[in-house]
Amino acid sequence: MSGLTHIGPDGRARMVDVGDKAVTARTAIAQGRVDMAAETLKLALGRDTKKGDPIAIAELAGIMAAKKTSDLIPLCHPLPLTSVKVNIDAIESEHALAVTARVKTSGQTGVEMEALTAVSAACLTLYDMLKAVDKAMVIGAIELVEKTGGKSGDYRKAGS
């Protein structure tokens, strides 16, 4: 467990001290998807359900979630985010909606968790908005695809 930064020498959870880290520009991109029936995708793309526009509302939910990540994930630092962009695009041939979040800050720690939280909340919101017509939707493939900045350097998922 010695490689885990949120576990102290005594084995107890701790918030990492980032006070001595340099302030650098940091970005993170995460993605995920919601698979659904063809009819459900058509309804989502029509952007007009009884609850409203599922895509616009899910994009907004993702932005809001990124801003609240430290309230949801116990050991995350609250960060001053400089940009959060959430995009939802159709993969019509697969009857799915792809969710991508790009988060930026200038700070002492990264924004990977904010990007992942944004994607998760957007996917959950899509499910909530569309569940009345399709309870069999599947949320999945939520992953970090890229991050820049910080001591650990840049990361890009292979094949991205």
pLDDT in tens, 52-75: 999 999 999 999 999 999 999 999
- Active-site residues, by number, are 128
* Predicted confidence (pLDDT) per residue in 101-149, tens digit: 999 999 999 999 999 999 999 999 999 999 999 999 999 999 999 999 9
Judged against a pLDDT cut of 90, whether residue 13 lies above it is answered with: no
Strand order in the sheet with 155-156: 81-91, 96-107, 24-35, 138-148, 155-156
Per domain, the residue ranges of the chain are: 24-148
Q: Which CATH architecture has domain 24-148?
A: 2-Layer Sandwich (3.30)
Q: Give the contacts of 101 (CB within 8 A, at least 6 positions apart).
A: 29, 30, 31, 62, 66, 84, 85, 86, 87, 114, 115, 116, 118, 119, 122
Whose CA is closest to 145, among 104, 112, 121?
A: 112
